[in-house]
Structure 1
């Protein structure tokens, strides 16, 4: 085992001297096979499988050789066959057991020969896969060595990329490029999509202008009663109850909400009832007149 390892190490050293030789004549005739487009995953997968198989076969061979040497039979190879008749003498039993032992020994020798052949084949497969992978590594290291050699031959080991601007040399270092950038301040962007505009209906524009010019408090816009456009039917405009105009249109009926500013604008009336409704008889009279 030690001699085989020593010969393999000496062979590798000899190949390394030829791979890293400076002159092409020294590199010629190295016997290095150039393998291109190697699927290393396939190589590693087969190599792992072959190495596992080799280890298992080696220990099987070693175990069977020791069993045969000690004339012992493992439990898995013992033949359990017995005669059908009941009258058995000790001499017959001894001869029967010796015959079964000899048969088991012959089976063990047969299995041992088969495992030795498989072990030799597996070792050759492992050796071939190792050569493929080692050839790939050698080619990679050789190409890198030749690439670096060309850098020294062409005097391009250290590259300083410079250009003249206005008679001065300016380098392209990353710090100067980053420092010369101009950063713009982010401006607020519109929430609208490109090509979209906000449009108001005519009534909304008029109401917006009235609210911006009128001195009335903003609380006057708290009424839940929507305004009617001029295109709506007259019967809806003349109805007394604001909620009736939305019947049959899918709108929920809501009572209007009035504030002080509403009362001041409407002349003190509160949906047909005056302030006197809360104080005395005038309120009742007005209520009766309405209904």
Structure 2
């Protein structure tokens, strides 16, 4: 419970600092990008502003929930400490409390280091203009995986099984040129880069 309280406290403080600076941590950035009007800088800036507002609203919501949860955890810790003092001698409780505080402090320092590293990493994203994976005003490029990919009607499961069985029965009679032709067609969905060229390159 003590570790949970420390984790919630530090997370809330960190998010509050992000909000103060109007920065979005990587884990709360919305991974959407403009596909229409992606070369229109004004449109992209407004698009980015909407994404930022969404993330900042989530930060606010999370901070509010953390504050509520901290109250609950604090009450649980207080109840547990009361129970321990009732079943332990004064010396035993003092030793137990010292161990808990030592473990809690070590955990706090480790967590602070991790959060600081992430905070500096996110700050570098803003300094270098790499907050999102797209650049405002630059035309949207279709990912290579989708280039040249054609939408095909999905066959019923039974029909696909019949096609595979028919292919298995006829495979022994195929010529090498037929198999090469089929192979060329089957790789078309990977895009132009994966299809063999007619020149043999």
TM-score, normalization: structure 1?
0.30
More contact order relative to length (CA 8 Å, sep ≥ 6): 2
Please tell me whether Structure 1 or Structure 2 has the larger radius of gyration of its CA atoms: 1
TM-score, normalization: structure 2?
0.42
